[in-house]
Amino acid sequence: MDFESVYQRYFKDVFLFLRSISASEDLAEEITQETFTKALKAIDTFDGRKDIRAWLFTIARNTYYTHCKRQKIYVAEEIEKMPLISQISFTSKIVDEESALLVHRFLHHMREPYKEVFTLHVFGELPFEKIAALFGKTPNWARVTFYRAKKEIIEYMEGIENGKNQL
């Protein structure tokens, strides 16, 4: 396996995944580099039975969590820096940068596995089959979990529009 081609092919995916969970572009870039360093050191342990992108996402997620623990970063600190703005449709909320911050804000409070499944599918662009493999579940489980997470986000955003939801 040519690691340079793996790096070239998956760098952007890993970066976007980390950007979606870190709320900082600089931190996402730093952890992406660290992820590929760890992956290079551990490439011999990758058996090829699973998707390499899923393997990289797992390393990235764990590296990010380790960073947060070391830095004693808590979700509340990042949330205080995010503006609160509402929009009309769910699709435009994801596209609109400020509304995307609201979705990220809500994602930080969302329970697992909803948070991670939603993030992997929307920001990591992983298909349900690969998400299911990451969790050791069925693709149907991943679909149901994703749609439940999406429903929670829609309800939250509608609540903001109506002035009811505040985190």
Q: Residue 81 half-sphere exposure, CB side, CA atoms within 13 Å?
A: 8
Task: Identify the CATH number of the domain defined by range 83-167.
Answer: 1.10.10.10
pLDDT value, residue 1: 58
Residues 6+ apart with CB under 8 A from 119: 17, 20, 21, 107
Domain 1-73 belongs in CATH node 1.10.1740.10? yes
pLDDT value, residue 159: 77
% of the chain exceeding 90 in pLDDT:
1
pLDDT value, residue 40: 85
Rounded to two decimals, the pTM is 0.47
Whole-angstrom Cα Rg for the chain: 16
Domains of the chain, residue spans: 1-73, 83-167
Query: For residue range 126-146, what is the model confidence (pLDDT) as tens digits?
Result: 888 888 888 888 989 988 898
- CB 43 within 8 Å of CB 3: yes
Report the C-alpha gap between 110 and 118 in whole angstroms. Answer: 10
pLDDT value, residue 98: 61
pLDDT value, residue 164: 63
Task: Write the burial class of residue 80 (CB in 10 Å: 0-12 exposed, 13-18 middle, 19+ buried).
Answer: exposed
Residue ranges of E strands in 15-146 = none
Mean pLDDT by 10 residues, the chain (167 residues): 79 86 82 89 77 84 83 52 42 54 75 84 83 88 88 80 62
CA trace torsion 113, 122, 151, 62 (10° rounding): 20
pLDDT value, residue 97: 59
